[in-house]
Amino acid sequence: MKRTIIFIFAMVMFASVSFADGVPTKNNTNATKTIAAPSFDDDNFLLPDGYFNINYNLGWSVGQMNSYINTASYRGFSIDGRKFINDNFTVGGYMSWTGFYEKFERKTYQVDNSTTVTGVGTNTYYNFNIGMNVHYYPLKNGVIRPYIGVNLGPTWQTLSTQLGRFYIEDRSWQFMVAPELGVFIPFGAGSDIGINTGVRYNLVSFKNTTFGFDHGITYMQWFVGVTMEY
């Protein structure tokens, strides 16, 4: 009987020691686990992936285009998106539309060596462009962000001249290249919306001596609009 009591007492003490912390001894490793904190690139975190621009374009003719239409164009817009491929360069796509129009007083016009026409004259030029763009931003994280770039791609254009009842028109696909210089100005510190403004030179590879073009169609544009970062 005495041996039985001693055996029971020993088993109770063993069980008490084994489960004193409520966790089986074989699973209680007392090891400290460290969770690594997420790391960020302090220089590039929160910088934009790209820009989306909506612009109003004011144009004026230069070169031979100035002889064809010598009035400003108040009809123009452009939309483009840009994606950073590294710290300073973006690539993207664009779309734009431009219209020029000039009306001449009623008089007699010399059409060719043997033909004259009397009446009111008008010259019009419209184009629709779609293509790609490349831009360089030297100050990607600056307070203001200047850039230089170029747009290029096909353009669908229409030229027309009307002198009284005499009317001629040319419609064709051409190639256009348009270098530009601009700046993005955020509305405030940390804002992802701001003003986009700059100047653009447009060159269309077009030759038609009937309309007086043998060196292409050229015109300048001042653009202003809204930029959204993404």
- CA distance linking residue 183 with residue 142, whole number of Å: 11
Residue range(s) defining the domain that contains residue 162: 52-229
Which pLDDT score, from 0 to 100, does residue 17 have?
Answer: 45
Burial (CB count <10 Å: 0-12, 13-18, 19+), residue 144: exposed
Q: Whole-model pTM?
A: 0.76
Residue 33 lies in a domain: no
Whether 45 maps to a domain, the answer reads no
Q: Name the domain count of the chain.
A: 1
133 lies in a domain?
yes
201 belongs to a structural domain: yes
List, run by run, the mean pLDDT of 10-residue segments along the chain (230 residues). 51 49 50 55 64 98 95 97 96 98 82 75 96 94 92 97 88 97 92 96 94 94 96
Residue 160 DSSP SS3: strand
pLDDT of residue 43: 52
Is 200 a domain residue?
yes
- Say if 78 falls within a structural domain: yes
Domain for residue 101, yes or no?
yes
Query: What's CA 9's distance to the chain center, in Å?
Result: 84
Q: What are the Cα distances from residue 155, in Å, to 17, 20, 175, 189?
A: 87, 84, 6, 38
Please indicate, yes or no, if residue 18 is contained in any of the structural domains.
no
Instruction: Kindly report the CATH number assigned to the domain that includes residue 56.
Output: 2.40.160.20
